[in-house]
Amino acid sequence: MEVHQISFAKISILSSNCAEITVNSDVDINLQMVDEIHYFLLSHFHHSFSLLINKTNAYSTQLDALIQFGTLDAIDKIAIFAPNKLAKMSADFSATIPSSAKLNIDVFTEREDALDWLTLE
């Protein structure tokens, strides 16, 4: 597994078509940060891929950034690992954003369940 550090998060390449994003604590994600994630992902995956968003750390995302994140056409599925009640509430809200509605997103309280869902074909 390759692990890469970008300016505000760790991105782990889990397989040839799946990555895990763990945002650092106390970050407020903005549009430029979403562009940084998109650039990283498109430079490492040359076909569609799935993402595991690991919400272990507490962080926030600006609404315009949240909307922009869901516009990357190469994303196949997104599993959100939300290990506590606050993270789950945040993840459930994120999954209802209009740009997210076209994506295949699910929220999980167990990381292994999220990974299992991502690998189902």
> Per residue in 24-77, pLDDT tens?
999 999 999 999 999 999 999 999 999 999 999 999 999 899 888 888 889 999
What's the pTM value of the predicted model, to 2 decimals? 0.92
Task: Return the pLDDT at 27.
Answer: 97
Note the pLDDT tens digit of each residue in 73-92.
899 999 999 999 988 888 88
The closest alpha carbon to 108, from 87, 120, 37, belongs to 87
Q: In a 10 Å sphere around its CB, with 0-12 CB exposed, 13-18 middle and 19+ buried, how is residue 101 labelled?
A: exposed
Enter the tokens of residue 31: 């549009």
Alpha helices in the chain (DSSP H): 31-44, 63-69, 85-94, 98-101, 111-119
Enter the tokens of residue 66: 């949240």
Pick the CATH number of 2-119 from 1.10.1780.10, 3.40.50.150, 3.30.750.24, 2.60.120.10: 3.30.750.24
Task: Return the pLDDT at 101.
Answer: 58
